[in-house]
């Protein structure tokens, strides 16, 4: 899941981010993107400069510019907390990720000003009136390229009032995570999708000029052997001219006796034998249905099930043989 944080100054966004970091959330801040720009220009990192530079970046690259840059950093296998979201367009960009949840952290203005004074930053406003005045600049703008906190708050999925103790804030965040755990349940691929996807990746290693094919042999939901089509070990790769038939792009099903390449299923079976691994009662996942030669090897190797993605051009006889041999055959097609 990706949790976005928005809120007024000193509402407690950083405190929430620190709490989530302890729970293995990876932290990013949109303000860090602006800070990098200011450092590159040799400018001081003040609140006024951050606001001005953020607005300039949105004006130059669009209202959602900071959100777009952040999306590029996100990886699908991690949970994230993203701080300093200050424009509705940034929210829209992050929501395109499909697993984004925005939380508005807020607190009374007087409470937040007291927190500002306690942190004793030189660049912070020293009076309550100055604090209020700066906040007005951030809250709402007709110009879509500028900060618009009110518009951003309106898009929040949840609002948390941080006017109490640290423990109370942590309890609220923990309760929110519990709610999200049900909403953002992991979508895992089925075993068929998992193994067929791996077979397709294995096929990218093929050196055959005509088509890239691969097979993996699975036992007890564990891969015991893989194979892709290409010339035998120590022979010039097909893609380097090692197989005259493939390099002449001979019509499918013809001249097979002249083909130097081994098929993916053939190589997966032979590799298991080479390493002394039994493949009796296993399942073979192959990106194409097997040819007649590979079919005979599958039967004699004791493989009990064939799962294939795409039909091989010459498939009728192999399918009949597999059926007669009592081997289960299924098609599981993935793009």
Catalytic residues: 265
Among 123, 44, 107, smallest CA distance to 115 is for: 107
With H, G, I as helix, E, B as strand and everything else as coil, classify residue 103: strand
For 209-221, b/e burial (b = at least 16 CB within 10 A) is bbbbbbbbbbbee
Helix crossing, 128-139 with 47-61: angle to 10°?
Answer: 10
Distance, CA of 101 to CA of 95 (rounded, Å): 8
Please tell me the number of Cα atoms within 13 Å of 145 on its side-chain side.
Answer: 11
Measured distance between the N- and C-terminal CA atoms of the chain, rounded to whole angstroms: 26
Residues in CB range of 86: below 8 A, 6 or more apart: 6, 30, 54, 138, 147, 148, 149, 152
Question: Exposure string (b/e) for 285-302, b if CB count within 10 Å is 16 or more?
Answer: bbbbbbbbebbebbbebe
| Residues 37, 45: Cα–Cα separation, whole Å | 10
Q: How far is 293 from 266, CA to CA, in rounded Å?
A: 8
- Side-chain half-sphere CA neighbours of 27 within 13 A: 16
CB 255 within 8 A of CB 263: no
Q: What are phi and psi of 290, to 5 degrees?
A: -70, 150
- Within 10 angstroms of residue 317's Cβ, the number of other Cβ atoms is 11
């Amino acid at each position: 899941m990706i949790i976005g944080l928005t809120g007024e100054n000193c509402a407690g966004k950083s405190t929430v981010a620190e709490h989530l970091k302890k729970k293995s959330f990876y932290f990013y801040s949109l303000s860090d993107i602006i800070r990098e720009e200011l450092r590159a220009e040799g400018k001081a990192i003040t609140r006024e400069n951050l606001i001005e530079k953020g607005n300039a970046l949105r004006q130059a690259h669009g209202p959602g510019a900071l959100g777009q840059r952040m999306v590029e950093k996100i990886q699908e296998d991690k949970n994230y907390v993203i701080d300093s979201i200050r424009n509705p367009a940034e929210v829209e960009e992050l929501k395109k990720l499909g697993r984004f949840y925005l939380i508005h952290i807020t607190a009374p203005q007087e409470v937040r000003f007291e927190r500002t004074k306690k942190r004793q930053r030189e660049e912070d406003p020293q009076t309550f009136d100055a604090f209020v005045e700066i906040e007005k600049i951030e809250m709402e703008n007709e110009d879509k390229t500028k900060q618009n906190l009110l518009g951003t708050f309106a898009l929040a999925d949840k609002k948390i009032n941080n006017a109490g103790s640290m423990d109370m804030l942590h309890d609220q965040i923990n309760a929110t995570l519990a709610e999200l755990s049900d909403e953002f349940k992991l979508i895992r691929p089925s075993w068929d999708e998992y193994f067929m996807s791996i077979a397709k990746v294995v096929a990218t290693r093929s050196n055959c000029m005509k088509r890239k094919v691969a097979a993996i042999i699975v036992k007890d939901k564990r891969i015991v052997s893989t194979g892709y089509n290409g010339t035998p070990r120590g022979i010039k790769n097909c893609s380097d001219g090692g197989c005259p038939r493939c390099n002449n792009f001979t019509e499918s099903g013809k001249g097979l006796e002249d083909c130097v390449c081994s098929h993916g299923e053939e190589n997966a079976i032979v590799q298991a034998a080479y390493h002394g691994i039994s493949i009796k009662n296993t399942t073979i996942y192959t990106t194409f249905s097997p040819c007649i030669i590979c079919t005979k090897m599958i039967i004699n190797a004791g493989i009990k099930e064939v799962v294939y993605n795409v039909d091989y051009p010459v498939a009728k006889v192999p399918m009949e043989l597999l059926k007669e041999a009592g081997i289960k055959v299924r098609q599981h097609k993935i793009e």
